[in-house]
Chain A
């Protein structure tokens, strides 16, 4: 088992944990956090492929990871804003109870 493989396995494990969280948690904030975890797993892949890939001097993986981190930050801010707005509307963050689209 070489190094790239172990990093990829770790990142797929993180991705699955995040996916499981998204699918099973009821709290909307924790679902958002699960999505962040999945993005993080993708970032580990970017960095691992940059490190063990054929052309590390091009810095493609690092750049992708940096852009992905900033997109994730924006996504977290907007997502939590939406959750707050939804909470103000329906007084709950429980996704099983937030089941109507009508106001």
Chain B
């Protein structure tokens, strides 16, 4: 465990915790981008350069902006004073804490996590491209299909149907 890991971990956890706890929804998304950037930095630290950059591009550049847009479009003034947490929030916290406790116990007692640190593997873009085009070509094609379907589906669902009703 190094200093850089500690800094990144604190940054990520603080960002995500703020994203789930803050009152103003836009602040939540801004804190969330910090968390996402922290996760991307963790990927870079682990040597997965391509994944880290893709994470920044997809999450910070697209998902966060999308969420912000959705928040702006669904903003209503009367919701400003309503409570942000659901009425059974204590149960939610207990469940989440229990899940964390179980996971942490499993991780600490597991024999699989007692490996020694292997040398840094390299994942160059060339290797990733080769893997995508040979071994993982079918998942890649399915992914293309899925993204196209999601694109069309999102447009159809979110489209304003006022013209049809007129």
**A→B interface (CB under 8 Å):** 1-10, 12-27, 29-30, 32-34, 36-37, 40, 43-44, 47-48, 50-52, 56-57, 59, 61-63, 65-67, 69-78, 80-85, 87-88, 91-96
- Residues in chain A near residue B7, CB distance under 8 A: none
- Residues in chain B near residue A7, CB distance under 8 A: 42, 46
Pair A63/B107 contact, Cβ less than 8 Å: no
Total A-B pairs, Cβ < 8 A: 241
A12 and B110 CA atoms in complex are apart in Å by 14
Total number of B residues with any Cβ neighbor in A under 8 Å: 85
Pair A84/B70 contact, Cβ less than 8 Å: yes
Pair B66/A33 contact, Cβ less than 8 Å: no
- Residues in chain B near residue A75, CB distance under 8 A: 150
Q: B78 CB to closest chain A CB, in angstroms? A: 9
Give which listed residue, B13, B25, B96, contacts A23 with CB less than 8 A: B96
